[in-house]
Amino acid sequence: MSQWLAFAGSHLPTLLAGTGYTLTIWAVAMIAGFVAGWVLAVARVYGGSISRRLAVGYIELIRGTPLLVQMFIVYLGLPQIGIVFAPLTAAIVAIGINTAAYQAEYFRAGIRAVRPGQIAAARALGLSRGQAIRHVVLPQGFRIALPQWANEVVIELKYTSVAYAISVPELMGRAKEIGAASFRYFAIFCVVAVIYLVLVTVVTLVLDQVERRYGLRH
Amino acid sequence: MIYAVIWDNLPYLAEGAAITVALALTLLVIGLVVGTGLGLIQAYAGWPLRLAATLIERFFRAIPAIVLLFLFYYGISVFYNISAFPAAALALGLRSAAYQSQIIRGAIAAVPAGQLAAARAIGMTRAAGIRHVVLPQALRQAIGPWTNEALSELKDTSLAYTIGVVELMRQADYIVSATYGHQLAVYSAAAVVYLALSLAANWALTRADRRLAVPGLSH
Amino acid sequence: MTDATRLRAEHLTKSFAGRRVLDDVSLSVAKGEVKGIIGPSGAGKSTLIRCLNGLEPLDTGRVWLGADELTARKADIDALRARIGFVFQDFNLFTHLRVADNLMLGLRRVRKMDAVEAERCARAELDRVGLADKWQAWPAELSGGQAQRVSIARALAMAPEVMLFDEPTSALDPQSVGSVLRVMRELVAGGMTMIIVSHEMAFIEAVADDVVFMADGAIVEEGPAGQLFNTPHAAATRAFIDGIAAAHRGEATTP
Ligand SMILES: Nc1ncnc2c1ncn2[C@@H]1O[C@H](COP(=O)(O)OP(=O)(O)OP(=O)(O)O)[C@@H](O)[C@H]1O
Ligand SMILES: [Mg+2]
């Protein structure tokens, strides 16, 4: 045990540097996915028939295929048509594309759960349709969607580990390197498991608080 | 040219897809058996067992699938020479068990308390009531959320690629190396296969859900 | 039409899925007038009043607010709606906003007031309905009667030219009804132009100048409150009013 701790300690700086990448990918992709998710959800609920169909097609395509494939297409496939990303950027783009589809579905469910009377009341005050959506439907829809959304945020934190497959030096990638150099794969993955456990627990606790404060159910 | 590459390698993609499906089915069965056990423990057992089940569940849900794959693959290799497929089935299966236990627990909670009371009233033991009355209803209710879990696991089988299972992604990789390129076309073809498998699985499970519908048992 | 006409509707028709819900309904209310609308469930009262501010699209017919036509092709319907107050049966307070922000949303976004002016205006209206101490409350923390008074204040804050009420007390427990009716009485006393759909017959009889009896999507009878309640012309009106009175005395309405 103490031997393992010494081993873990000696590699901790490298792993923490990797954790920095992990959190960067996660944060940027989640924010991009948040914005894109809302655009997709609004297009799917309120859009004309063309934008509605485009949104549905995108969401179903992304949710029907694995993140790993999406990441390979972004990182290895797109260069063939002249779109080249660095590994870190490719990981962010792929996870952003992925989470946008899932977030869109949770936001859509939230929008649908807003009671129709809320829009009627906003319109009765003279708010335009766009204003009613922006100031009443979206904030309420988000609060209703909060539990599912928080879940998605945690899921994507774990999925950032897929980025190691396109050689991003995040937590998982660093572990693989250390394993290859020391031949102590099991030991190093135990350390990594503990780090993820801590990250996920902290994020979950924070999101629980957010939910408690802002959650809304009818 | 590109079509020819895909066409010529279709058998390999099919082979990969077969392994993907086999892995998905195996891990889901492991998940169902272990997950139901965990769910029952969490719903009915005394607190020490309940605590243990909850800790196991939390552990498997907090750790990324890839990390679990490596942990199991290398961890088991220390004392037993395991190959990639069973290691993947076990790692992903137990992780799925954690998610499935949550589904089962929710479904058990949704069965009205009167059902177990009625079973006891006709002289059944508590265990028999759970086994013959509560659980069948709960499993029936669970098909909806279970569909989501199955589809999600189907996609996550692609992660077994990282420890060397020759499933769809690995086959796609081989094709890319063998044909010196065509990444975009080959990985897109793999994506199409996954999409087709997802749609087929969704169709089958939705149909099963409707087939098994019991009047008055809503969900 | 006289200059005093505030809201006027002519030949409104409306169908839901092929079923006629409004059948050639015409109605107008003059400045300072209080009009009551009564009738059995399903008569089309809610549909009518929602059509009056364009919440429900019409099939045919025209509606004017003063000299401006709501149903005109180029009408700025949002601007016109801002001049009409609407009170819903189930309040529809914005659940994600505190009482203060419920009152200020329209002032800020529609009236484009600055924060200071909006707050001053909103506080005055909240005070008018006797709930100044609920400024920071969430809608979920209010009783039904309080919520409905806040929703009235929210409508009043927009300084409407006419107020529409769709069964404002139907969702309330008996104790709360009084507090809402009291606020409405004060509005009547203040000279507000109002159209009120309600099952509170005594209240309508007391405050309305004119009462409309609706059934099956059409106006059966319209007249001064005292006349309509005491000597109705139509048999259907009499049956309805007698039925309500009987129900109030706790008698069976059918032999
Ligand atoms: N959105 C809708 N879609 C279909 N039918 C509707 C809709 N809204 C109202 N209706 C129908 O139109 C008719 C009139 O409804 P309305 O709500 O206007 O009646 P009401 O006089 O307000 O009744 P109540 O006293 O019960 O509120 C009813 O038969 C109702 O079922
Ligand atoms: Mg009504």
- Any atom of ligand 1 within 6 Å of the Cβ of C15: no
Please write the tens of the pLDDT for every residue from B143-189.
889 999 999 999 999 999 999 999 999 999 999 888 877 889 999 99
The pLDDT, as a whole number, for residue C244 is: 81
The verdict on the CB of residue C176 being under 6 Å from ligand 1 is: no
Chains B and C touch (3+ CB pairs under 8 A): no
Average pLDDT for A61-68: 96
Tell me the angle at which helices C144-157 and C115-128 cross, rounded to the nearest 10 degrees.
130
Q: Which CATH number fits domain A2-214: 2.30.30.110, 3.30.70.1290, 3.40.50.10800, 1.10.3720.10?
A: 1.10.3720.10
Crossing angle for the helix pair C144-157 and C174-189, to the nearest 10 degrees: 20
Q: Which of C55, C42, C53, C56 is nearest to C13 (CA)?
A: C56
Res. B219: pLDDT tops 60: no
Report the b/e string of C174-206 with b at 16+ CB within 10 A. eebbebbbebbeebbeeebbbbbbbebbebbbe
Helices (H), B111-182: 113-121, 126-129, 135-156, 168-178
- The two three-digit tokens of residue B159, written as one number: 């992660």
Chain A residues with CB under 8 Å of C96 CB are 136, 139-140, 143, 216
Report the pLDDT value the prediction gives residue A38, as an integer from 0 to 100. Answer: 97
Which residue, judged by its Cα, is nearest atom 13 of ligand 1? C42
pLDDT for A218 beyond 50: no
Q: Does a structural domain hold residue C120?
A: no
What is this structure's pTM? 0.88
A-interface mutation test, from B56, B58, B74, most A Cβ less than 10 A away: B74
| Distance (Å) from the alpha carbon of C108 to chain A's nearest alpha carbon | 10
The answer to whether B67 contacts A196, with C-beta atoms less than 8 Å apart, is: yes
pLDDT in tens, B19-63: 999 999 999 999 999 999 999 999 999 999 999 999 999 999 999
pLDDT tens by residue, A123-141: 999 999 999 999 999 999 9
Per DSSP, the residues of chain C read: --TTEEEEEEEEEEEETTEEEEEEEEEEEETT-EEEEE--TTSSHHHHHHHHTTSS--SEEEEEETTEETTSTT--HHHHHTTEEEE-TT----TTS-HHHHHHHHHHHTS---HHHHHHHHHHHHHHTT-GGGTT--GGGS-HHHHHHHHHHHHHHT--SEEEEESTTTTS-HHHHHHHHHHHHHHHHTT--EEEE-S-HHHHHHH-SEEEEEETTEEEEEEEHHHHHHS-SSHHHHHHHHHHHHHHTT--S--
pLDDT for the residue numbered B1: 66
| Averaged confidence pLDDT in chain C | 92
Q: Could you identify the residue written with the tokens 């549909």?
A: C47
All residues at 6 or more sequence positions from A71 whose CB lies less than 8 Å from its CB, including other chains: A90, A91, A94, A95, A162, A163, A165, A166
Least-confidence region, from B210-214, C189-193, C232-236: B210-214
The pLDDT of residue A214 is: 82
According to DSSP, the residues that pair with C166 across neighbouring strands are C197
**Alpha carbon distance C144, A133 (integer Å):** 26
* Residue A12: closest CA among A202, A191, A208, A200: A191
CATH of the domain at C71: 3.40.50.300
Q: Beta-carbon neighbour count of residue C86 at 10 Å?
A: 26
- DSSP conformation class of B111: S
Does A61 contact chain B (CB < 8 Å)? yes
| Cα Rg of chain B (Å, integer) | 21
CB–CB of C61/C12 below 8 Å? Answer: yes
Could you tell me if residue B219 is inside a domain?
A: no
B169 located within any domain: yes
Alpha carbon C166 to its chain centroid, in Å, reads 4
A85-101 per-position pLDDT tens digit? 999 999 999 999 999 99
Q: What total of structural domains would you count in chain B?
A: 1
Structural domain total, chain C: 1
Length of chain A in terms of residues written: 218
pLDDT at C254 over 50: no
The values of phi and psi at residue C63, to 5°, are: -130, 135
> 């101490």: which residue's tokens?
C133
- The answer to whether the CB atoms of B62 and A200 lie below 8 A apart is yes
Among C109, C162, C165, C167, which would you mutate to test the A interface (most chain A Cβ atoms within 10 Å of its Cβ)? C109
**Structure tokens that stand for A216 in this block:** 């809304």
Chain C residue numbers touching A218 (CB-CB < 8 A): 95
Say if the Cβ atoms of B183 and A162 lie within 8 Å.
no
Q: Is residue B216 part of a domain?
A: no
Tens-digit pLDDT profile for residues C154-163: 999 999 999 9
Tokens of C37: 């609308």
- What pLDDT does residue B6 have? 80
Instruction: Report helix, strand or coil for B162.
Output: helix
E-state strands within B35-88: none
For C224-245, what is the mean pLDDT?
90
Q: Which residues of A touch C83 (CB under 8 A)?
A: 126
Are A126 and C88 an interchain contact pair (Cβ–Cβ within 8 Å)? no
Of A115, A125, A218, the CB nearest to C105: A125
Of C12, C45, C89, the one to substitute when testing ligand 1's pocket (max ligand atoms within 8 A of C-beta) is C45
Model pLDDT, residue A217: 52
**Domain CATH code at residue B119:** 1.10.3720.10
R_g of chain C, CA atoms, integer Å: 18
* Domain carrying residue C212: 32-93+161-253
CB-closest option in A65, A76, A162 to B66: A162
Residue span of the structural domain in which B78 resides? 2-211
Residue range B115-126, pLDDT digits in tens: 888 888 888 888
- Report the Cα B21 to chain-centroid distance in Å: 11
CB contact under 8 A, A125 and C79: no
Mean pLDDT across chain A = 94
Residue C255 has pLDDT above 50, yes or no: no
- Say yes or no: CB of residue C46 within 6 Å of ligand 1: yes
A196/B159 CB distance under 8 A: no
Residue-level pLDDT at B217? 60
Domain boundaries, chain A: 2-214
pLDDT digits (tens, 9 = 90+) for C85-100: 999 999 999 999 999 9
What share of chain B has pLDDT > 90, as a percent? 64
Residue nearest to atom 31 of ligand 1 (CA): C42
Collect all residues of chain C within an 8 Å Cβ-Cβ radius of residue A122. 94, 105
Say whether residue C75 is in contact with chain A using an 8 A CB cutoff.
no
The H or E element spanning position A156 is helix A138-159
Contact B205, B131 (CB under 8 A): no
Q: Indicate if the pLDDT at residue A36 is higher than 60.
A: yes
- The confidence score (pLDDT) of residue B218 equals 54
Asked if residue B218 belongs to a domain, the reply is no
Residue C211 within a domain: yes
Which of B70, B54, B63 has the alpha carbon at shortest distance from A157?
B63
List the one residue out of C225, C228, C191, C232 whose CA is nearest residue C30. C191
Q: Which residue of B has its CA nearest to A183?
A: B74
The residue whose two tokens read 């997950």 is B35
Using CA coordinates, name the residue in chain A closest to C109. A127
Phi, psi of B91 (to 5 degrees): -60, -50
Could you tell me the distance, in angstroms and rounded to a whole number, from the CA of residue C197 to the centre of ligand 2? 8
Structure token pair of residue A40 = 């997709």
Quick check: helix, strand or coil at residue A84? coil
Whether residue B111 has pLDDT greater than 60: yes
